[in-house]
Amino acid sequence: MSSLAARRRSPLALLVLLLLGLTFTGTAYAAFAPKAAPGTSAATATQEDVEAGEQLFLANCATCHGTNAQGVDPIGPSLIGVGAASVDFQVSTGRMPLPAPGVQAERNAAQVQFSEEQISQLAAYVDSLGPGPDVPDEEYLDLEGADIAAGGAAYRTNCAMCHNSSGTGGALTRGKYAPTLMGVEPQHIYEAMLTGPQSMPVFNDQNLTPQEKENVIAFLKYIEDGGNSHGGAGLGSVGPAGDALFVWTIGIGVMIAAAIWIGRKAA
């Protein structure tokens, strides 16, 4: 038997391969959850705010959305009538300005390029172009007196199919996905429901009342704080896929190692 063949037959090679595979899977699995920037409060917009906002808009947004925010087909939609809530959601979660073309904009606190004041100026400018949903009242964001159970019922009917019953997100078509809702500011969750960013449908105040939206947020904060956890490793709480991945890599890896040991001749 040549030395090459001897090495090829070595069970150690299999183990090393297995270990490498597991390491890569584990690394890919690690979730990256940045802390979102604090939300901007609804400021009473003055004429100066609108003008300052327009300057910011022309410098940062007009390339894609047009100099009058009328939209540039097909790279940027019209922003007339999207409202201050939409601007606050997109800009203060770091989704806009879009750093690079892609299937969808991603939440990234490191990409937030404007101060709270600048964001409210931008929002005031876009809001002045046409009426749209406003930044939510503090009253619905403090989660005091919110009904967590009712929020859970509303969440399961309206949100869970895309964002997963544990709020950790899920896949959509063609590379798009519903992002995780863990670690998202209440204000941004509220604004997303109100404005329907990207693939997400709109849930206006007739569909989910402000109180119901607050309930949903309270439910999400409750499960974020472990309210849904019954112990043990959550494995990302992505449902059976995560559990299966764990069992198929770790479990089968251990079984293969055991089979090799049993099958080996004792020296």
- Closer residue to another protein in complex, CB, 4/267: 267
Q: Compute how many other C-beta atoms are within 10 angstroms of the C-beta atom of residue 46.
A: 11
Which of 4, 5, 28, 267 is the binder for another protein (CB under 8 A)? Answer: 267
Q: How far is the CB of 42 from another protein (least distance, A)?
A: 21
Rounded distance between C-alpha atoms, residue 195 and residue 204, angstroms = 8
Rounded distance between C-alpha atoms, residue 89 and residue 36, angstroms = 11
Q: Which residue has the tokens 């007009």?
A: 62
**Binding pattern to another protein, positions 230-249, x when CB under 8 A?**
-xxxx---------------
Question: Nearest 5°: CA angle at 204, between 203 and 208?
Answer: 70
Is 24 within 8 Å of 266 (Cβ atoms)? no
Q: Binders of another protein among 145-184, rule CB under 8 A?
A: 150, 153-154, 157-158, 161-162, 170, 172-173, 176, 178
The tokens of 43 are what? Answer: 């400021």
The tokens of 158 are what? Answer: 């309206």
178: β partners: 170
Q: Binders of another protein among 44-83, rule CB under 8 A?
A: none
Q: Segment contacting another protein (CB under 8 A): 107-115, 180-188, 191-199, 246-254?
A: 191-199
171: β partners: 177
Q: How far is the CB of 70 from another protein (least distance, A)?
A: 17
Q: Which residues contact 197 (CB under 8 A, 6 or more apart)?
A: 86, 89, 90, 95
Q: Binders of another protein among 197-236, rule CB under 8 A?
A: 198-204, 206-207, 209, 212, 226, 229, 231-234
Give yes or no for residue 5 binding another protein (CB under 8 A): no
**Maximal CA-CA distance, the chain:** 88
Q: Segment contacting another protein (CB under 8 A): 52-60, 65-73, 123-131, 196-204?
A: 196-204
- The residues binding another protein (CB under 8 A) are 150, 153-154, 157-158, 161-162, 170, 172-173, 176, 178, 196, 198-204, 206-207, 209, 212, 226, 229, 231-234, 261-262, 265-267
